[in-house]
Structure 1
Amino acid sequence: MVLQNIWFFLWGLLWAIFFMTDGFVFGMGTMYPFLGKTEEEKRIMINSVGPLWDGNEVWLITAGGVTFAAFPDVYATMFSTLYTPLMLILFALILRGVSFEFRGKVDSPKWKRVWDTTIFIGNFAPALLFGVAFANIFQGIPFDENGIFQGTLITLLNPYGLIGGVVFVLMFIVHGSLWLAIKTEGDLQARAIQTGKRLWPVMVGAIVVCLIASAVFTDLYDNYLANPVLFLILVLAVAGLLGIKVFMGKEAWFKAWGCSCLSIVGVTFFGVAGLFPRLYPSSINADLSLTAHNASSSPLTLKIMLVVVVIFIPIVLAYQTWAYKLFSDKVTEEDLSHEEAY
């Protein structure tokens, strides 16, 4: 049981890291058609995430791989019941990568407008759908004893699911605006800062609404009431949210971005901790819910995987830390003349 609990925690942690790292890319892409006023500004926005966005995808692959290897029954049921939204996310992520690469291949305004549109879709759609998907997991998915989904895509677009989608989009936009504040200068930076400052209270309001809705539509708070120490997760999220506001006021953009990372991890773990030990609850019958204890791989598999994680996760973290440090300078118009620039 200890191994299953460890892997439950790692499962949630990997998703939180993915949202923390790729979230600012989703946010940049969502703001892209609105903040980029000139061709140079659009290219600067793309190049601000250019060296990093594909590396961030490692955490998505790892989170999916952990679900498959550590909790195969969850993986099978999840990719069956949430097939449509997950495939839409996959197609959007493919579209995003293609858009970044193809936009500058032809010097044509019409060509660039097409890819500008797909950059927006390829970032906004995953941000929204990830929020909708996880909110639905938090309140329970209507699947029967055979793992068959009793509903449609519209079923997932319920009030709580949409609230989760809005929260994710707003968190990622603020996260992205702070990243652009770090990486850009001039009018583009000013517009990014203004966007972050204006949307911060809207984001906080949406999170508060989500917390209230969680008490109505889910049983996430049962774990918190049974184990009050878990409320420290909410304290963590609140500290991150307040830190964003404080450091934006001080124009300490990197610290504000760090606090945004903290708030994203806190919000994600709010739901993960509330689920424990369930990984994939059924809203039809609680007895059908898949948990870390009834849907895990064998102890030997979990032990081998744990050894692999202990060895390779620090390597990935070291590589990404090096990459972020290497590309930590601001992106300027001079950088756009380099052959490797988007």
Structure 2
Amino acid sequence: MTLPTLWFLIVAFLWTGFFVLEGFDFGVGMLHKVVGRTDTEQRVAINAIGPFWDGNEVWLVVGGAAIFAAFPGWYATWFSAMYLALVLLLVALMARGVSFEFRGHVDAHRWRQTWSWCLAVGSLLSPLLLGVALGNLLAGLPVGSDEEFTGTVADLVTGYGLLVGVTLVALCVLHGATFLALRTDGPVRERSHRVAAAVVLPTALLLLGFAAWTPTLSDAPVVRSVLPPLVALAAVLAAGLLVRARREGWAFGATAVAIGLTVVSLFANLYPDVLVSSTDPADSLTVDGTASGTYALQVMSVVALVLVPVVLLYQGWTYHVFRRRVSGPPADAAPDPAPGPPAPLDEGAVR
């Protein structure tokens, strides 16, 4: 295996890890107003991801940085072409991030609802925009022989890219619902069960369309082009059965497999290209053609070999420490006689 190929696999691993981990965060953000009828219930849903969301977003930063360092030609062309979408993504991520902190600092209904909507909309736009960007890698963008993007904003909206974006949004909703069913208690847990059961069929239909369309854009062998999305589809259907059987841990595992294999399928069908040119296939950007020098890749490989296991161990320990369910106060608990401003987000407990 060549170093450029190895780093293509590392990039695919980082983006897959991001969607598996941040995917349920996005889902909870979209669902917290659906599964939470009261402010306390909404805070239960938000606090379920309190210890995890910021660490999960690091995978996106590292995934982008890995492309920048290992494949500068790919980074320059793709990020330049998707500049507007990238700006919108950053706005969505910032609005979503500050909502976690700002929502509880003023004890006013309008204030909290404003930041709740920022969380919900930011959590919806983020996987949608990222899905469109990833889908366009395989669907193709107007790229010339000089590796320059030659299209317009309209060229960024492709049918396949939109399908990938909507499919990832649906997978995030299902992933988030199973996570809430696993991590919360009381009414939030019960509503999360109902949401998960309700979105299984639409998600499966979107994945079926994804599985049918993706191989038509790729010359990859059948085992790479067809098998991953079909296994992802089977995992979604299995998640639906497991949710109905109240096997919440297994259901969450199944949705993790589904969203992970969907992203894997994109990269598996893309290789050996990294960005397909819709102008002329001969102008497509390739793994070998956009990779950094051998020495740079060697140094990066050593760093990755040391740091990636450390990150995985740390995140695994974090999930172990905060494994208990999140619940609200007892229904018959008396309110404080003189409530003050809510405290900042306390990981694992309701503010």
What secondary structure does 2:289 align onto? coil
Q: Decide which of 251, 272, 280 is 1:277's aligned counterpart.
A: 272
Distance 2:280 2:344 in 1: 57
More divergent stretch after superposition (231-240 vs 87-96): 231-240
More divergent stretch after superposition (248-257 vs 175-184): 248-257
What secondary structure does 2:290 align onto? coil
What secondary structure does 1:30 align onto? helix
Residues 1:247 and 2:239 aligned together:
no
What secondary structure does 2:288 align onto? coil
The 5 Å alignment of 1:259-270 reads 259-270=254-265
1:322 CA displacement: 0.6
Encode CA deviations 1:169-218: one digit per residue, 9 max, x unaligned: 100000000010011122211111111111101101011112223345x2
Distance 1:168 1:242 in 2: 16
Where does structure 1 lack aligned partners over 5 or more consecutive residues?
Answer: none
- 2:22, 2:56 within 8 Å by CA — same for their partners in 1? yes
More divergent stretch after superposition (187-196 vs 239-248): 239-248
Distance 2:229 2:210 in 1: 13
Q: Which amino acid aligns with 2:220?
A: N
TM superposition score normalised by structure 2: 0.91
Which residue of structure 2 lines up, in the alignment, with residue 223 of structure 1? 220
1:325 CA displacement: 0.9
Distance 2:233 2:328 in 1: 37
Residues 1:237 and 2:232 aligned together:
yes
Q: Which amino acid aligns with 2:238?
A: G
Distance 1:8 1:116 in 2: 37
What secondary structure does 1:145 align onto? coil
Encode CA deviations 1:50-81: one digit per residue, 9 max, x unaligned: 11000001211111111011001111111101
Which residue of structure 1 lines up, in the alignment, with residue 91 of structure 2? 91
Which residue of structure 1 lines up, in the alignment, with residue 40 of structure 2? 40
1:122 CA displacement: 1.3
Residues 1:298 and 2:293 aligned together:
yes
Encode CA deviations 1:137-180: one digit per residue, 9 max, x unaligned: 11111122344333333332232222111101100000000010
Distance 1:130 1:214 in 2: 17
Q: Which amino acid aligns with 2:269?
A: G
Where does structure 2 lack aligned partners over 5 or more consecutive residues?
Answer: 331-341
1:133 CA displacement: 1.1
Q: Decide which of 326, 333, 344 is 1:331's aligned counterpart.
A: 326
The change in CA–CA distance for 1:161 and 1:148 in structure 2 (over 3 A counts) is same
1:108 CA displacement: 1.1
Residues 1:72 and 2:67 aligned together:
no
More divergent stretch after superposition (312-321 vs 285-294): 285-294
Encode CA deviations 1:201-256: one digit per residue, 9 max, x unaligned: 1101011112223345x2x2x2124xx46654345424422431332232111111
- 1:85, 1:153 within 8 Å by CA — same for their partners in 2? no
Q: Percent identity?
A: 34
What secondary structure does 2:274 align onto? strand
Q: Which amino acid aligns with 2:77?
A: T
The change in CA–CA distance for 1:157 and 1:195 in structure 2 (over 3 A counts) is same
- 1:177, 1:193 within 8 Å by CA — same for their partners in 2? yes
The 5 Å alignment of 1:14-53 reads 14-53=14-53
The change in CA–CA distance for 1:123 and 1:78 in structure 2 (over 3 A counts) is same
Which residue of structure 2 lines up, in the alignment, with residue 149 of structure 1? 149
Which residue of structure 1 lines up, in the alignment, with residue 209 of structure 2? 209
- 2:45, 2:180 within 8 Å by CA — same for their partners in 1? yes
Residues 1:130 and 2:125 aligned together:
no
- 2:142, 2:155 within 8 Å by CA — same for their partners in 1? no
Distance 1:229 1:98 in 2: 39
Distance 2:152 2:31 in 1: 30
- 2:181, 2:193 within 8 Å by CA — same for their partners in 1? yes
Distance 2:132 2:226 in 1: 24
Distance 1:288 1:272 in 2: 19
1:110 CA displacement: 1.4
Distance 2:46 2:229 in 1: 33
The change in CA–CA distance for 1:270 and 1:105 in structure 2 (over 3 A counts) is same
The change in CA–CA distance for 1:106 and 1:163 in structure 2 (over 3 A counts) is same
Encode CA deviations 1:92-125: one digit per residue, 9 max, x unaligned: 1111110110011111111112111111111110
Q: Which amino acid aligns with 1:223?
A: A
Distance 1:185 1:52 in 2: 18
